[in-house]
Structure formats: C-alpha cells, structure tokens
Amino acid sequence: MMRRDEIFHWLLEEDENCLKDLWQRADAIRRENVGDEVHLRGLIEISNHCIRQCGYCGLRSGNKDLDRYRMSEEEIMSCVDEAETYGYGTVVLQSGEDYGIETEWLSRIIRQVKKETRLAVTLSLGERPDEDLEAWRKAGADRYLLRFETSDEGLYHSIHPSLPGGVSNRLAMLKTLKKLGYETGSGVMIGIPGQTYASLSHDIDLFRKLNLDMIGVGPYLPHPHTPLGQGDRRRMIPEEEQVPNTEQMTYKVIALTRIVCPDANIPSTTALATINRERGRELGLMRGANVVMPNLTPLQYRAKYEIYPSKACISEIPSEYHSCLHDRIGSIGKKVGTGQGDRIHRFG
Ligand code: SAM
Ligand code: SF4
C-alpha cells in the first residue's frame, strides 16, 4: 500500500528516470489486476442545460453565450443503437444538472435500453435527489459517475456553490449511490487554481478509502466564460504549492490512482486527449488507465457541450473514430474489451 506522504512525494517528482519506474509500476499493476483489455464506454451528452454555477465549467447556468439543447428520446436511442453496432459494452448518459430531464422520462429510456440491448447504463447527471437515483436504479441503471472534484472542502465550496436550500455534499451522495447498488465512480480535476499538492495527495488517498469502482481524473482546463477562467481566485496559496494542470501531472495522478486502487476502472480522459491530441489517450492507457469513452453525441450538439474550449472529440466522427480505435489500442499491445466491463472485485 502506498502511504499519503509517498503519494505527495511522487506528485513532486520530476526526474524522468524515477517517473519511468512509476509508469512501469502502474502498468504492471494494471495488467495484473484488470488485464490488457481496454473497455469502451459510448458517451452520450444528452443535455447541456445546467442549474449550477460551478466556477470552472462552461455549462454553468451563468454562461449566457451558450446555445442550450436537450436530446430527444429518439435521438438518444439512435446513439444507443450506434453503441451496440460498434460493440461497446456501456453507454454513459451525461448532462448538466438539468431538471428538464424528468425522472420518469429517463426511467423509460433506461428500461428501453435494458430491454433492447445488452449494454450497461451509466448515468452522470449531477446531484439529483435520492428519489431520482432510486427510480433510475429500479429502471435498470447500473452505474453512476459523480466526481467530488477536490477533497479540500473550502476550495470545493468556493468553486462549486451550493444551491439555495441545501449544501452540496457529493461525498454523501456517493455513499447513497453505493447503498442503492450502483457501481460508483468519482474523481477530481487536476490543477484547479488553489489546489495544493497536499490536497491532491489526500484526494488520491480518498479514492482508496471510498472503494470506488471507477475513477476519472483529468486536467482542469480554463474556460474563458467562467469565473475561474477569467482569473477569479477565491483561494490564494503560495505559488510553489499550486498543482500545475499539465499533461505530466495528469499521468502521475493516473499512475498513482492505479497503484492505490489496483482493480478500479480508470479512463484515459478526453481532457487528457485535449492537451495531447496525438498520444494523450494512448499514454494514459500505458500509465495505468484501462477505459476509453468514445463520444457518440450527434455532431450538431458536440460543440455545444463545451465544458472547456477545444475539446479533443469535437469533430470526431463516431464511425471514423471507431475504425481507427482498434488499431490504436492494438498498437500499444492491448485489445478491445468484450462484455460490459464491470469492475472485477479483487480487494473487497
Ligand atoms: N453535471 C455533471 C457533474 O457535474 O457531475 C456531469 C457533467 S460535468 C461537465 C462532468 C465533469 O466535467 C465534472 O465532474 C468536472 O470534473 C469536469 N469539468 C467541468 N469543467 C471542467 C474544466 N473546465 N476542465 C476540466 N474538467 C472540467
Ligand atoms: Fe453543471 Fe456539472 Fe458543469 Fe457544474 S460541472 S456547471 S454541475 S455541468
């Protein structure tokens, strides 16, 4: 087991040879625990409406420059069909926190997907009430993704304001999700202004304590139409304590996450592919990750799901991307996974 002070040390490590050891250790642990299969999850960004005001995200309700959309049931089902055609094991339905996504409407879609396909259904719809989570679980949803973003409470509340009438508590919601029987995923952004090395090492340690099934980490990327992107700093910290939002730091966090959570499913994220379009996804897979989430959102909506600018997948055409994906995965000595790609529990 890696202690928190060791995680902290690794986050500060700059020596290329030492880092090579870290990548190799993470890759060996990945192979031993989850094998060489890369699981594909088809991502469908079903709505960009959001009632929240996260200081970092382009979908925040305060961003009036964004043209909003919500996909219809037919459009969603047509993306689901595509996922089946490409042989993916899972669809991920993601959106802003959008109450236009009504509980029963989505339950109906989940039931249909479960009835007509063999796909696992993952939801990533923000902080919905327990009744919604329960209804969707009953309808057949298998998994839920909700990043806690940072375990530094002060930083979290300063960049993720609560809504009137309730304090945002994503850690409590993760517990509820587990209790309801969802496979549960979480994660953080790397390099949020005000995020220290100490707090990031705490985040990674917390992944282990939460016994997460899936862990997504990616660099924070500034969006010019957000307070953080415009330089608003609620949290001032000494420069030397600030975690950089770099590619290298992202690999370190992926590798350390694999070492502390050997059997978790860890995606090589779009945000990583955005900072290195050529090799980011592959290098993530070579340094601890074992999941890729190809984007199936119809092209006319893709650019509107602008969490941050210049997202890597904005013009990826699913059929073209799919045809080169097997080659890209094969070129790094791995193979595309079959089945739903559930977590293989080895550590309780
Ligand atoms: N609304 C849901 C939620 O917040 O959980 C799901 C969609 S939200 C866009 C998915 C994730 O995008 C967030 O958990 C956050 O980590 C990430 N994200 C948002 N803004 C970002 C940014 N500027 N840079 C990198 N990641 C960002
Ligand atoms: Fe909305 Fe999620 Fe973006 Fe926050 S991170 S503004 S909840 S879409």
| pLDDT tens-digit map of 6-47 | 999 999 999 999 999 999 999 999 999 999 999 999 999 999
Ligand with the closest atom to the CA of 56: 1
pLDDT confidence of residue 325: 83
Report helix, strand or coil for 119: coil
Q: Is the CB of 307 under 6 A from ligand 1?
A: yes
Retrieve residue 192's tokens: 């949020």
326 pLDDT tier (thresholds 50, 70, 90): confident
346 pLDDT tier (thresholds 50, 70, 90): low
Report helix, strand or coil for 247: helix
Q: How many Å lie between the centroid of ligand 1 and the Cα of residue 272?
A: 13
Query: Packing angle between helix 247-260 and helix 16-34, nearest 10 degrees?
Result: 40
Q: Is the CB of 223 under 6 A from ligand 1?
A: yes
Indicate the top mutation candidate among 48, 147, 243 to test ligand 1's pocket, ranked by most ligand atoms within 8 A of CB: 147
Q: How many Å lie between the centroid of ligand 2 and the Cα of residue 163?
A: 12
3 state SS for 40-59: EEEEEEEECCCCCCCCCCCC
Task: Inform me whether the pLDDT recorded for 235 exceeds 60.
Answer: yes
pLDDT tens-digit map of 103-146: 999 999 999 999 999 999 999 999 999 999 999 999 999 999 99
pLDDT confidence of residue 291: 97
Ligand 2 atom, smallest distance to 307 CA: 3
Task: Inform me whether the pLDDT recorded for 348 exceeds 60.
Answer: no
Q: Is the CB of 271 under 6 A from ligand 1?
A: yes
Residue 311: DSSP 8-state: -
Name the average pLDDT for the chain: 95
Residue 333: DSSP 8-state: T
Q: Is the CB of 189 under 6 A from ligand 1?
A: yes
Q: Which residues, including other chains, have CB under 8 Å from residue 81's CB and lie 6 or more apart?
A: none
pLDDT average, residue stretch 318-343? 84
313 pLDDT tier (thresholds 50, 70, 90): confident
Is the CB of residue 346 less than 8 Å from the CB of residue 33? yes
